[in-house]
Amino acid sequence: MRIFRHHMDIPSGLHGGVVALGNFDGFHRGHQAVIAAAAEEARLLQAPLWVFTTEPHPRSFFRPDAPEFRLTPFRAKMHCLEIFGVENSLVLNFDAELANKLAQDFVMEVLVEGMGIRHAVCGYDYRFGKGRGGGVDVLRWMGEMEHFGVTVVAPVAENGDRVANVYSSSAIRRALEEGDVRGATQALGHWWFIDGHVLEGDKRGRTIGFPTLNLSMQGYLLPRFGVYAVRVRIPDGAGGFMVRDGVANIGRRPTFNKEDVTLEVHIFDFSGDLYGQVVSVELVDFIRPEQKFAGLEALKAHILADAAEARRRLADPALRRDLFRLPRLRGLGSAA
């Protein structure tokens, strides 16, 4: 996927495209519907497909000291878009200048003059411009004035058109914070994952027969602390990847009086060295809350039980990995 960082850097050959507008945090089923609608319009117009977003998230800009809340940091979001089949993405820096740009000026400077769009697609609740002053009504009016089409995608819900079940990033955040991994996965349409470089840990797990991979949770929403059944996407040594089952703990490790939040993953039946490499950890199911144990022997006994429970859940046909993998836009091959 080609990522452009300024609207005036777009090659002329990519002007006249169809753009999907949004932040796409979590890349849930509603976001997928917006981009799929844009892709279909691009196919009909035989035009380039674009996704427009900003980095950082506006909420992070206005509230820099607030706890992390994003479901998908920038790298993870771009990975989702690429798997989905998006070829071009315009990512503008959300700074004071962009925050203070009037909605009409954003449309003229970025969408019309910079991208030369022929069509824009957004969700029903899309807001943009200074003070979130622009919405679908402004976008439609500007489209009529500047001769580009506008498609507004209606709410996408799990059970028909029931508003209470509309897929939203906020609802998914709440589900993860409550440990409702299955509910979050259903709304996302794919497994929620954490990716990052494998860090050097204290190697305590090796002493009790459960070596772990350690990943930072920086940049991610913190789900409910506890133990999870997981699947881990790791390098296969030949330029590809393989997916292995495992059990993980997310939290502060109270047994050892730690304060920092980490993700520790034990991969079943695996003994390779992955330090420094990038892996992705998919949360499949929540097993139990994090708790403090009296010592290593008590901890080991619970890890044995957790591992057995994780294996049992990962074998559940209802939790097969292929049921919730990111789809790929029609006609563009299969998902990774």
Cα–Cα distance, 287 to 307 (Å, whole number): 10
Three-class secondary structure of residue 281 per DSSP: strand
Domain range list for the chain = 2-153, 192-324
Please tell me the predicted confidence (pLDDT) of residue 123. Answer: 95
Please tell me the predicted confidence (pLDDT) of residue 162. Answer: 41
* 38, 43, 90, 275 from 153: Cα distances, Å: 10, 17, 20, 43
Token pair, residue 211, equals 């070596």
Cα–Cα distance, 100 to 249 (Å, whole number): 42
Backbone angles phi, psi at 309, to 5 degrees: -65, -40
Three-class secondary structure of residue 151 per DSSP: strand
Token pair, residue 297, equals 């022997």
User: What CATH number labels 2-153?
Assistant: 3.40.50.620
Amino acid at the residue 170: S
DSSP 8-state code for residue 18: E
Fold match between 2-153 and 192-324? no
* 116, 220, 242, 243 from 233: Cα distances, Å: 39, 18, 6, 4
- Check if the beta carbon of residue 111 is closer than 8 Å to that of residue 148: yes
Q: Tens of pLDDT along the chain (336 residues)? A: 999 999 999 999 999 999 999 999 999 999 999 999 999 999 999 999 999 999 999 999 999 888 888 999 999 999 999 999 999 999 999 999 999 999 999 999 999 999 999 999 999 999 999 999 999 999 999 999 999 999 999 987 765 544 446 788 999 999 999 999 999 999 999 999 999 999 876 655 555 568 889 999 988 999 999 999 999 999 988 888 999 999 999 998 765 556 688 899 999 999 888 989 999 999 999 999 998 776 677 778 888 999 999 999 999 999 999 999 888 875 443 344
- Check if the beta carbon of residue 187 is closer than 8 Å to that of residue 177: no
Sheet with 278-289: strands ordered across: 193-197, 278-289, 226-235, 241-251, 262-267, 213-216
Q: Is 246 left (phi over 0), alpha (psi -120 to 50) or beta?
A: beta
Cα 225–chain centre separation: 19
Least Cα distance to 123 among 193, 217, 208, 29 occurs for: 29
Looking at 2.40.30.30, 2.120.10.30, 3.40.50.2000, 3.30.450.20, the CATH number of the domain 192-324 comes to 2.40.30.30
Amino acid at the residue 227: V
Q: Which residues sit opposite 92 in a β-bridge? A: 54
* 171, 177, 217 from 195: Cα distances, Å: 22, 18, 9
Helices (H), 147-286: 169-177, 181-188, 204-207
Q: Cα(first)–Cα(last) distance of the chain, in Å?
A: 14
- Tokens 């998902």, located at residue: 335
Three-class secondary structure of residue 241 per DSSP: strand
- Pairing assessment for the beta strands 213-216 and 193-197 based on DSSP bridges: unpaired
Please tell me the predicted confidence (pLDDT) of residue 330. Answer: 55
Please tell me the predicted confidence (pLDDT) of residue 331. Answer: 45
CA dihedral 220, 248, 246, 335 (to 10 degrees): -10
pTM summary value: 0.88
